[in-house]
Each structure stands twice: as structure tokens, then as C-alpha cells.
Structure 1
Amino acid sequence: MALNMRYARLLVEAGNYEGGVAALESMLINPDAPPSIRLELAVLYYRMGSYGMSEALLRSALEDKRLADEHRAQANALLRDVAARNQTSQFSGFVILGLRHQSNPNARSHRDMVYANGALVPQNRELKPDSDTDVQLTARVDHRYDLGLQNEASVISSLVAQVVDYRSSSGSKLRADQTEPYDLALLEITSGIRFKPAPILLPALRIRPHLIAAELLAQKHQYLSTAGVGVDVEYRFNERTLAEATYEYRHYDYASRVDVPDANQLGGPDNGLRLRLMRELAPGQVLSAELALRDHDTSKAYYDYTSQELQLTYFVRHANPFSDNGDYWLSSLWTGASQRRYGAGDPTINADRTRKDNELRFGASLTIPMDDKWSIQWRLEHLKTHSSLPNYDNRNTSLQASVVYLF
């Protein structure tokens, strides 16, 4: 029995899940087989995405009175997850309530001299960087509806809502010379069918074409709306390596209002491509590399831009330093660099110099779970932008404390 168990585990470590399943199932012929074998099988079927088989094995293992308490706790935890995944209609998501302080939320230039109509002039003192604090409420609801097809097709829909309320900004009156940060309200909906296009030849490949619609309000008035289409592509090389790609086409439409000059010229098509590779380096340690490319077109060349951004993030799960009861904390560190190139010089600033921004950011976060639903999160980030025009040189440091609820 011990040799067969060792053989099954070696097969799994080599990536031969089907062989591991066969070896474990052959052990169940013995009526005296320990219930932990059914638990191991359930875990393996879970890793293979066969949640129905996993649930049946877990329930069988839990019915066996010989199952050790440690294994029983593991089986119950996995059963809750599997039972949710086996439902035809599934909801999940989170709510975040946070308080954030920023040293320069409006990205104002810290330079003393800036360009205006091609000439260097002193920076208006009222437009110097100024700190501010805001309250954020963010909610995301994901819904999955299983179509019951052989290619695991499901309708995946997401709704994201966010409200940002700045301390220095109040009321809903719009001004042409708005200097305070905008109070914002965002609503975005995406929906599409996720499926495996080649379940036999490429079982690890999944794609999701989807529709996109979003609305942004500023100071309780419509600011812009977007609509478009996209496609998500996911390929899992193995349990430790995941590759994702997302392409989106959106059309931006800015609302005409007193504080948005030339609103009809700001809108236009936007193409974005985001690539991400995630690798589990060791248990509880994940490295993520993300590349984002964007091309934004408008009616004026000096509003057009292309951008490239690269970000590296390191996630680590570690034991609670103040307790030895098995609790864990989650930390992350990230750094990123991006560049934006605009299409032409802005005549109201300097027609002879085309804007190019180089941005560098780095930050850290700490998530402290209180239970399986609630957690506290701290987030610190510093961003620095160097531009070919001093008008856009800026720095911003933000610190945010949040309460997170998962459902």
C-alpha cells in the first residue's frame, strides 16, 4: 500500500495526472484501503478540473469514520470550494472600503517654470502640487453560468463599480478652471462566453470573447462613456505557470461640459493589449510579469498617444509573525516602468516640442486576513514621471488602508 501510494505521488510530480489517478483508484479495490486515498484522489481530480468526481470522492471520504481529524478538516474545506464550483450559476466578488492619502493626486508639475504658448513662464502658485485624502468604495461581482457543454463553455459576466470622494472637492458645480480633484463614480460591465476551443488537442487553452460598456461620472455629471469588444486568452502550461493575454477595442466618447474643452475632439478609438505570465517559484511565492501596450486615437494629433508599460510583481504568503495558530499574511512588492509618446506638439503649450513621458513606479502591499471573508489591506506606492515638457514632470506618493470583504 505504501509503495503504491509513493508510486502514485511520483506520477503526479512528473505531471502524469491520469497515471496518478489510475494508481490511486487501483488501491481502492482493497476494502481496507484508508479513506485518505479517496481524499488524495479528490485533490487530484480537483487539480484536473473534474469537480464532480472530486465532490463525490470527498463525500465518500467524510462518511468514513476512520478519516483523521486533520484530513477531515482539509476535506471539508475543499468540499465547500468544490460544491460552489459545481453549481450551474455561481456568484463571487469583493467589496473594498479604503481611505487613501496622496501627495499629488492631480499630477501637478513640481517645476518652477513651464511652457505656455511656446514660452517658458513661472508656474502658477495655485497649480503647485497639493496633497489630498479620499475615501474609496469599490465593488466587483462576477457571475458564471455553466452551459453544460463538452468544451466547458460558460457565460462569464463581471460588474465593477467604484466611487471616489475627495476631501477638498464638494458639490456638483462644474467650473472651467477646476483645480481640485474630481469626485468620481465608475460603472463597467463585461460579458462573454469562455470556452475551450480545442479541448482534445489543447485542453489547457481557454478563450473568452466579450462585450464591454463603461460609464464615468465626475462631480456627479457624465464625463465619458466607452463601449467595445475584447477577447481573453488563457493558457496554463502546468500547475505553476499561467499565461494570459487580453485584447480590447474601445471607443471613447467624452461629454460636452464647461470643464472639458474640445470634448468632441478628445474621443476616438482605443486599442489595448495586455500580456501576463505568472510563475509559482515555491509554495506561497509567485512572480508575475505584465506587459501592456496601448494606442489611443483622437481628432487631434497632440491628443493621440501610444504607450508601453512593463510591471513585475512578487507575491509571498508568510506566517503571521505575531501568532503560531496557522494564520498567514500576504505581501506583494512591485515595480514598473512605462512610456507615453504623443502624436504632435500642443500649440497651447509648445508646438515645437512633442510630449513624451517616462514613468517609474514601485510599491508594496500587505493583506492581513481576519477570517475567510474579511481582511485588512495596506498599500504604499510612489510614482515619478519625467516628461519632455516640464508641465508634466510630477511625483506622487499614496498610502491606502482598506477593509476587504470577499463573497
Structure 2
Amino acid sequence: MRRLKQLVCAVVIGASLFGTIIAPAMAQGPVNASAEQEREYDDAFQEMLRKPADLDVLFKFATIATKTGDYEGAISALERMLLVNPDLPRVRLELAVLYYRLGSYEVARTYLEAVVASPGIPPEVRARAEQYLAEVVKRSSPSRFVGETFAGVRYQSNANLGPPTSSVRLFGQTANLNQSALGTADWGVVGSGYVRHIYDLGTQDKGALETQLTGYANRQFQLSQANVSILDLTSGPRFQAFQGIFEDVSIKPLMSLGYIWVNDVPYYGSYGSGVEFGALLSDKLRNTSNATYRRLMYQDSWYLPFNSLYTGNEYSANTTFQYALTDAVMLFGNGNIQRYMTDNSPQYAYILLGVGGGMQFRFADPLFKSQLPWSIALSANLQWWNYDQPDPVVDPTLTRQQNDVILNITLSVPFDERTNLIVSGGRFVRSSNIPNYDFTNNSFLMGVSWRF
């Protein structure tokens, strides 16, 4: 049971890190231009100044400006083309796409409707315009769904998070595990995703009701006891606070429900509440913080007959800072604290402290020369666990303490604006004063994500 508890904690930690570290790596946006691109941009700009009415020159500059991330410059050039010749549906489409990328959906809608209404436009232009128009309508609607899914394969050098040696503690004495309980390598499939519904309340404080369902599941090829499934539901209103004092501060009180299965057997259910804060501290620095309470109800079963001993209350808080060092480099740091208090088993109660950080670097597509940047994300997280009392079954004289080191590197390669190839490598090392809980797990993950 203790090994399963360790496995589930590690999976939940890994799932949360996947959401907070890899998701930013999937974000698309302009990237810093290379020296060669800067020269090309400057040359095109000077040529445009010399020939302000030449459509070919204007379009060339708009194309280069888009590649280097100067969307406003590209928009200016394309709008000048329409002043010279208003009958250019392809130019209107490119303008719509640029306004869409900037979040100006109503302006984008105006251009897209004009493109769709144009007679005799090529079918591929009409199809692309209709695709963007549908997306604009969805984003402009007071009720909309957004989400993301991921599916892939993963290798783990220690899929069951077993100790490296058979020597463990039992009732304060040295005991030997059988070989099947030691760390074992395995491959498996992994799937995760979320669906978020946003309903605009139409209030001056930009209030919206946000409901999100998140899911995670892995299936091992050999070690079925390491299969974990997670469902989590949160819902609550988000609104802008301190308007007129701060530029962008949002508050979201929320309610939550969750359930976890291990080896396809119910493990625990949870319910709780909390509050999330978001603040734009400067034009480059953003903070997101939350504090939550959850009641965790562990269930006894044929597979886990004493699982209810872990039932208790969880109090947690975390904060994350994101700093845009440049258009291409994002730095982030985070800290968290968690207190878990069991109802009747103080040997399983603990306090957890954690810190972490990393960076995301976006760069121009080196292979296909598309306008979509690739990205690499690096992260490191440290955690310290301190338990309240010794576990008499393990060692009645020794209170458990453990430290975690979690490292990850992720490459994101976009196929299009919604689909990405994700390749990730990680290392999870847990060190404990009780050898039962030591483990090292190296992992490799590859799969495809899709946003909608």
C-alpha cells in the first residue's frame, strides 16, 4: 500500500508538471529574428519606403515582417495594399489571420466576411477563410469550449518506483524484498487532456464562469499495478478585481471534485474548494497563485484492504511567476507548500515544501522554414517531505523524511497552429532516510498534442 501511495503521488506530481511545464512550451507566437532575418527585414523596409505603391514590394515586406514577429508592421503594409487595390481577397485573408493572432477577433471577422463574400475566389482561399471565421465566431460567443489532448508512448526505467536494492526496513529490522518489488523498467501509453467551458457573464468586470474537466491515464505494457487514471473537475467564476488601480488582476473562487483509480481499482475520491489569483505585475512579469482545500476519501478494496487509513484533509498553496526575458525566452519560477492531515493515522500525515524553475526558448523552424516556431523547455523542481510520526510497521524509531529532484527537458515541434509533436526526457530522484522509499526513474515521452 505504501508503494502504491508513493506511485500515485509521483504520477500526480508528474501530471501537474506536464500541465505547467509542457503546456507553455506548446504556446505559439513570434520569435526573435536572426541577424540574417533582421537584415532582410531592413532591406525590405527600405525598399518599401522607396516604392510605397508597389504591391509586390509591400507584400514582400508583409511576409518578412510576419516571419520576424512584427505583426503590426505586416498589417500596415497589407492595409496599404488595399488602399492601392481594394479587390485583393488573399490580402484581406492574411490581414484577418494577423488580427486573429493578435486577439482582435471583431476586426478579423470583418475581413473574413469580406473574403467569403468575394465572388470568384479560389476554393482553398474560401475554405481557409471559413475555417478562421468559424474559430472567430466561437471565440466571440459568450459560451465556448476550448481544450487540449495529448497521446503518446513513454518509457520508464523504474515504472513501479521500486527501491534499487532488496534491503528495506520492516518493524524496525532489516528485511529483504522479493525481486518483483524492485524497480522495474517498462513501456506504456499515456493520454491526458482537458476541456474548459467558458461562459461570459457580460459584466463590466469581465466576469466569466469557467468549468474545466481534466483527465490523465497511463497503461503499462507489463506492470498493470502501475496503471493510474485521474479525473478532476473544477468550476467557478473569474472576474477582474481592483479595476482602475491595477491593469490586470483576476480572482477565481472555485469548487473541485476528483477521483483516482490504481490498477483499475478505486483509490480515492476528493472534493474541495479554493481561490486562484492572477496578476500582470508588469508588461513582462505575470503571477498566478492559488490556495486550495481538499477532502481525500480513500476507499478499501480487495486490492487495497487498508487504504482508508490514508483518509484526511489536504491544504495547499502555490505560486508561479513567468517573466518574458525576450520575445523568444520565457523564465518561470514556482513555490508550493502542502499540508496533509490524516483522520486517524498520524504516521501518514506530512508537510511538503517545493521550489522550482526553468525556461522556455522559442526559435525559428530549422527544418521546414515555416512561420511556426519550435520550442525547448527546461525545468527543475525540488521537494522536501517531512512526516509527523514514525510508521511502526516500517520503523517505530525513525520518522520518515525524503527529498525529490525532478528534471525535465521538452521539445515541441508544431505541425500547424493546433498540433504539436512533443518529445520529452525526465529524471525523478527520491532520497529518503528510510531505504523503502528511495528510487530513481528516468523517462522518455513522445506523442502528439492537439488544441481545439
TM-score normalised by the chain length of structure 2? 0.71
Distance (Å, rounded) in 2 between the aligned partners of 1:363 and 1:105: 17
TM-superposition CA deviations, 1:121-162 (whole Å, max 9, x none): 334322221111111121210111001011100001101122
Structure 2 residue aligned with 1:390, among 418, 435, 447?
Answer: 435
Q: Who is 2:10 aligned against?
A: none
Offset of residue 333 of structure 1: 0.7
Q: Who is 2:149 aligned against?
A: 95
Q: Who is 1:200 aligned against?
A: 244
Structure 2 residue aligned with 1:221, among 254, 265, 280?
Answer: 265
Structure 1 residue aligned with 2:396, among 351, 376, 383?
Answer: 351
Cα contact 2:230–2:259 (8 A) shared by 1: yes
Cα contact 1:360–1:385 (8 A) shared by 2: yes
Distance (Å, rounded) in 2 between the aligned partners of 1:202 and 1:56: 30
Q: Does 1:364 align with 2:364?
A: no
Quick one: structure 1 residues 148 and 327, their matched pair in 2 at CA, closer, same or farther if it must change by over 3 Å? closer
Distance (Å, rounded) in 2 between the aligned partners of 1:44 and 1:263: 54
Cα contact 1:292–1:309 (8 A) shared by 2: yes
Q: Who is 1:257 aligned against?
A: 301
Offset of residue 306 of structure 1: 0.7
Q: Which amino acid aligns with 1:110?
A: P
TM-superposition CA deviations, 1:92-139 (whole Å, max 9, x none): 111111111111122211134221110123343222211111111212
Quick one: structure 1 residues 386 and 54, their matched pair in 2 at CA, closer, same or farther if it must change by over 3 Å? same
Quick one: structure 1 residues 61 and 308, their matched pair in 2 at CA, closer, same or farther if it must change by over 3 Å? farther
Give unpaired runs (5+ residues) of structure 1: 3-31, 66-71, 171-179
TM-superposition CA deviations, 1:34-69 (whole Å, max 9, x none): 999xx99x999997x8x5775578679989x9xxxx
Structure 1 residue aligned with 2:183, among 118, 124, 129?
Answer: 129
| Structure with greater proportional strand content | 1
Cα contact 2:109–2:136 (8 A) shared by 1: no
Tell me, what secondary structure is at the counterpart of 1:85?
A: helix
Q: Which amino acid aligns with 1:193?
A: P
Comparing 220-229 and 121-130, the one that deviates more: 121-130
Q: Who is 2:362 aligned against?
A: 317
Tell me, what secondary structure is at the counterpart of 1:384?
A: strand
Give identity over the alignment, percent: 21
Q: Who is 2:218 aligned against?
A: 164
Q: Which amino acid aligns with 1:265?
A: L
Cα contact 1:54–1:82 (8 A) shared by 2: no
Q: Which amino acid aligns with 1:367?
A: S
TM-superposition CA deviations, 1:179-231 (whole Å, max 9, x none): x42x2222111110000132222341100101100111223332110100011
Q: Which amino acid aligns with 1:141?
A: V
Structure 1 residue aligned with 2:382, among 330, 337, 359?
Answer: 337
Structure 2 residue aligned with 1:113, among 143, 167, 175?
Answer: 167
Q: Does 1:284 align with 2:328?
A: yes
TM-superposition CA deviations, 1:72-108 (whole Å, max 9, x none): 9xxx899887654322112111111111111112221
TM-superposition CA deviations, 1:302-334 (whole Å, max 9, x none): 100111111112111112222334342111011
Cα contact 1:111–1:393 (8 A) shared by 2: no
Distance (Å, rounded) in 1 between the aligned partners of 2:114 and 2:254: 40
Cα contact 1:58–1:79 (8 A) shared by 2: no
Structure 1 residue aligned with 2:194, among 140, 164, 184?
Answer: 140
Q: Who is 2:139 aligned against?
A: 85
Cα contact 2:247–2:280 (8 A) shared by 1: no
Distance (Å, rounded) in 2 between the aligned partners of 1:283 and 1:377: 21
Q: Does 1:275 align with 2:329?
A: no
Quick one: structure 1 residues 165 and 301, their matched pair in 2 at CA, closer, same or farther if it must change by over 3 Å? same
| Structure with greater proportional helix content | 2
Tell me, what secondary structure is at the counterpart of 1:287?
A: strand
The within-5 A match list for 1:165-180 is 165-169=219-223, 180=225
Distance (Å, rounded) in 2 between the aligned partners of 1:46 and 1:132: 42
Offset of residue 392 of structure 1: 1.0
Tell me, what secondary structure is at the counterpart of 1:391?
A: helix
Cα contact 1:99–1:136 (8 A) shared by 2: yes
Distance (Å, rounded) in 2 between the aligned partners of 1:145 and 1:301: 43
TM-superposition CA deviations, 1:23-43 (whole Å, max 9, x none): xxxxxxxxx89999xx99x99
TM-superposition CA deviations, 1:264-289 (whole Å, max 9, x none): 32111101101000000101210110
Cα contact 1:196–1:203 (8 A) shared by 2: no
Distance (Å, rounded) in 2 between the aligned partners of 1:46 and 1:82: 11
CA RMSD of aligned residues (A): 3.4
